[in-house]
Amino acid sequence: MSWIPLGIGFACALAIAVDVVRRREWSVMSLVHPITALYLGPVWLSAYARGKKWPVAHAVSHCGAGCTLGDIGGEWILFALGVSAFGWELGIDFALAWTFGIAFQYFTIGDLRRAVQADTLSIVAFQLGLFGWMALSHCVLFHAAIDTSTHWFSMQVGMIVGFATAWPMNKLLLTRGVKEPMSH
């Protein structure tokens, strides 16, 4: 059953990626939209297709894309190294998520200090939601190994939770002018 939502997420991400290539629109958001569709699937595909500018949703998707890349990369690095301790997952995933998230922000605004200010709290909020869900999933619900679809479905749900927990922080950062609105 886990393959169904994973497949839907991949299909939505592919549809957006094909459209980005067709339009030849190259920006950080060209990566952000397909990455966000991996976990928000048809919801994000629909928002992307309508081209609406939702400042908070775009800000969350921006930090969330960095988090997603970091979390996926971290999981596979640890798997390749044969490390399966949940604490290591949290540490490596967070370090990579923060690095990718700040890089995405840097390529948007071109100032590293401002990128760190704009996205650190957003990334922390996203990761708290994701890690909270993953702790519940890993320790209580599924106990799924990284090489199973159940683990990746759980990660997909965790990213949705992370999107929700990062929403208030991104709204605050946008309202205070710490974070700039992202374009479509």
* Domain housing 99: 53-175
3-state SS record for 51-82:
CCCCHHHHHHHHHHHHHHHHHHHHHHHHHHHC
Residue 87 has pLDDT above 90, yes or no: no
Residue 84 lies in a domain: yes
Number of residues that make up the chain: 184
Confirm whether 138 is domain-assigned.
yes
* Residues ≥6 apart with Cβ < 8 Å to 11: none
* Average confidence score pLDDT of the chain: 88
Structural tokens at position 172? 């605050």
CB 71 within 8 A of CB 155: yes
Distance CA 33, CA 38 (A): 9
Q: Note whether residue 26 is domain-resident.
A: no
90-123: per-residue pLDDT in tens?
A: 789 899 999 999 998 898 888 899 999 989 999 9
Q: Crossing angle for the helix pair 55-81 and 112-136, nearest 10 degrees? A: 70
Asked whether residue 63 is domain-assigned, the answer is: yes
Count of structural domains within the chain: 1
In a domain, 12, yes or no: no
Q: What is the largest CA-CA distance in the chain?
A: 45
Tokens of 88: 């290591």
Per residue in 17-51, pLDDT (tens digit) is 999 999 887 777 888 999 999 999 999 999 888 88
